[in-house]
């Protein structure tokens, strides 16, 4: 489709926020329907084949292209604050990710809160990772990836895989990760008035629904406070004007201090999870190309 302007990207985000705030009596199911409807603006790439798969009881969707290297896998965890989103609603980005990385992409339908309290999402993530290993995939040929809450989940999975003694994946990519439920990073306040997608009140509602009365510094909720030692290469991307920007940077800083090969990339004037606009925004395409190159490099893939 034709490229859009920076202003149009901002307005797209504002339209989602406006829809969420339209009725104070909305239920979680209402929020979920609005989010899935918003994601329908992103077309499914031509040439991508999707198939459902049961990964030891966790529903997932494979995204595969004609030139896919079937020995390599990207596990992708969708956004939605741990409360919303589905694997099916992320087929557009899954197809783009498969094309950029040259790998099979596994979109995961992890369990959502508040119906499923933590650590349900992490348990599902671990099940899927172990299932791939049992299918014969080499851990070094697997990349963990996610955006927003899914980005946080990818980081948590990498940490927990090491703590559990599992073979480590080749790399991790976190796009605008939700990594600190204490909301203590500077951009949570400095960008609160300019981020077009969220409000502080909405973020606290979502955090309360997910965390409940749990310690918000628990690394299985907030990976920023986790153990970064011995983890595989890490790429974190975030938009300049989003509230989650600095916690992504703080994760990279913590990883580097622990000796991890970690990179933070900030998209100038970009919004939360901006790479999902890769079909229509040049800056998002550049970000997706960097993700593709990073994953290929660290999972043994050929250059695009």
Look at residue 303 and tell me if it is in a domain: no
C-alpha 303/C-alpha 54 separation (Å) is 31
Query: Do 245 and 187 form a contact (C-beta atoms < 8 A)?
Result: yes
Q: What is the per-residue pLDDT for 304?
A: 57
What total of structural domains would you count in the chain? Answer: 1
CA atoms within 13 A on the CB side of 25: 0
Candidate from 16-20, 136-140, 249-253, 260-264 with smallest mean pLDDT: 16-20
Q: Say which of 242, 247, 283, 298 is annotated catalytic.
A: 242
Mean confidence (pLDDT) of the chain? 97
Neighbours of 60 (CB within 10 A): 23
Look at residue 302 and tell me if it is in a domain: no
Look at residue 277 and tell me if it is in a domain: yes
Look at residue 304 and tell me if it is in a domain: no
Look at residue 109 and tell me if it is in a domain: yes
Q: Say which of 76, 78, 272, 298 is annotated catalytic.
A: 272
Share of the chain above pLDDT 90, in %: 94
Q: Say which of 12, 59, 148, 176 is annotated catalytic.
A: 148
Q: What is the per-residue pLDDT for 303?
A: 66
The reply to whether the predicted model has a pTM over 0.85 is yes
Look at residue 1 and tell me if it is in a domain: no
The residues, any chain, with a CB within 8 Å of residue 205's CB and separated by 6 or more, are: none
- 148 assigned to active site: yes
Residue 19 belongs to domain spanning: 6-296
Look at residue 25 and tell me if it is in a domain: yes
- 7 assigned to active site: no
pLDDT tens-digit readout, 51-70 = 999 999 999 999 999 999 99
pLDDT tens-digit readout, 161-194 = 999 999 999 999 999 999 999 999 999 999 998 9
DSSP 14-31: HHHHHHHTS-TT--HHHH
pLDDT tens-digit readout, 42-56 = 999 999 999 999 999
| For range 61-84, the mean pLDDT | 97
Look at residue 301 and tell me if it is in a domain: no
| For range 82-95, the mean pLDDT | 98
Q: What is the per-residue pLDDT for 302?
A: 67
Secondary structure of residue 4 in the 3-state scheme: coil
Query: Do 240 and 267 form a contact (C-beta atoms < 8 A)?
Result: yes
Peptide bond before residue 141 is cis, with ω within 30 degrees of 0:
no
**Residue 217 is part of a domain; what is its CATH number?**
3.40.50.1820
Q: What is the per-residue pLDDT for 301?
A: 73
pLDDT tens-digit readout, 196-209 = 999 999 999 999 99
Q: What is the per-residue pLDDT for 6?
A: 85
């Amino acid at each position: 489709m034709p490229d859009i302007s920076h202003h149009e990207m901002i307005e797209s985000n504002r339209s989602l926020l406006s829809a969420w705030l339209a009725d104070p009596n909305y239920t979680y199911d209402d929020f979920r329907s609005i989010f899935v409807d918003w994601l329908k603006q992103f077309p499914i790439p031509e040439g991508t084949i999707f198939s459902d798969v049961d990964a030891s009881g966790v529903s997932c969707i494979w995204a595969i292209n004609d030139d896919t290297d079937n020995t390599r896998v990207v596990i992708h965890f969708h956004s939605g604050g741990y409360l919303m989103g589905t694997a099916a609603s992320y087929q557009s980005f899954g197809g783009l990710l498969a094309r950029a990385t040259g790998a099979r992409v596994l979109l995961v339908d992890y369990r959502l809160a508040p119906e499923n309290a933590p650590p349900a999402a992490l348990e599902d993530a671990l099940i899927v990772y172990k299932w791939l290993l049992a299918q014969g995939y080499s851990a070094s040929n697997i990349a963990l990836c996610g955006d927003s809450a899914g980005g946080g989940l990818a980081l948590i999975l990498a940490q927990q895989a090491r703590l559990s003694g599992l073979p480590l994946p080749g790399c991790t990519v976190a796009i605008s990760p939700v990594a600190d439920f204490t909301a203590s990073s500077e951009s949570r306040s400095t960008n609160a008035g300019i981020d077009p997608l969220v409000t502080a009140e909405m973020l606290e509602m979502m955090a309360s629904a997910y965390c409940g009365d749990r310690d918000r510094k628990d690394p299985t909720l907030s990976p920023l406070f986790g153990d970064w030692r011995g983890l595989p290469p890490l790429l974190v991307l975030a938009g300049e004007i989003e509230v989650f920007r600095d916690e992504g940077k703080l994760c990279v800083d913590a990883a580097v201090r622990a000796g991890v090969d970690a990179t933070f990339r900030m998209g100038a004037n970009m919004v939360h999870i901006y790479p999902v606009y890769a079909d229509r925004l040049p800056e998002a395409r550049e970000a997706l190309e960097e993700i593709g190159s990073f994953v290929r490099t660290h999972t043994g893939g050929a250059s695009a």
